[in-house]
Amino acid sequence: MSVDINQLIIVFTAYIIAAGSPGPSNMRIMGVAMNDGRKAGLAIASGVVSGSIFWGLMAATGVSAILKTYPGAIVGLQIFGGLYLLFLAFKAARAAAAPDKPVTQDNARIAPSMAALYRRGLVMHLMNPKSILAWIALMSLGLGSQASTTGVVIILAGCAVLSVTIFCGYAIVFSTGPMVRLYRRARRWIEGVLAISFGLAGLKLLLSRL
């Protein structure tokens, strides 16, 4: 079955807007990249990419229908996701409240392992119900009632490439010298913004069912 190029363009454009717009995942990648460097930023970005691809596969293989049939699954995901975002908000707020350290002391700080950062990015994205809902919308938009294996594969592959480009691009850009210096000067403000963003996102998830 032929694939509608125009529909693919619409889907990929929607994914770029959804993945590239500021959100908890992107802001956490930015903060880690500026604070711990490029490798750390790429590690957490890889976790986010893996989470995005996982939800894409789930949406493509029909799990979206299960979630629609059993809305309790979405509710549970919202609760866990909201609590996890509040946990991230607490950590960011504690970092914002901590006094600035001398550069030599900051350099001696033990940064999280690459595996720990990868898991952090993965869990953060998996606990975000907006990810699976966005993928359901993308699959519906791109395939409609005339779904084909070719169309599913092209959408997944294209969005996977875009996911790597966007999330890892954030890690690379925000680990550059000017961005690192910006972080050192505005660390407490940046962590404060992260705390507020995570907190609002977490509360929104938890209160959305009330």
Query: Percent helix, strand, coil in the chain (nearest 5)?
Result: 85, 0, 15
* pLDDT confidence of residue 154: 85
Against a cut of 0.85, is the pTM above it?
Answer: no
* CA 62 to centroid of chain Cα atoms: 22
- pLDDT at position 138 is 73
End-to-end CA distance of the chain: 44
Q: What are the structure tokens assigned to 121, written together?
A: 């990015």
Other C-beta atoms lying within 10 Å of the C-beta of residue 69: 9
Q: Digits of tens for pLDDT over the chain (210 positions)?
A: 456 677 788 788 888 877 877 777 888 898 899 888 899 999 999 999 999 999 888 877 766 566 566 666 667 766 776 777 788 788 778 877 877 655 444 444 566 789 999 999 998 888 876 777 777 777 666 655 555 677 778 888 999 999 999 999 999 998 998 887 877 777 788 778 878 877 887 787 678 655
Closest residue by Cα to residue 30 from 181, 150, 171: 171
For 28, other C-beta atoms within 10 Å of its C-beta total: 26
> How distant, in Å, are the alpha carbons of 47, 166, 178, 205 from that of 125?
8, 14, 28, 14
Query: DSSP characters for 138-163?
Result: HHHHHHTTS--HHHHHHHHHHHHHHH
188's CB contacts (< 8 A; 6+ apart) are 96, 97, 100
Residue tagged 């550059």 (tokens): 176
pLDDT of residue 56: 86
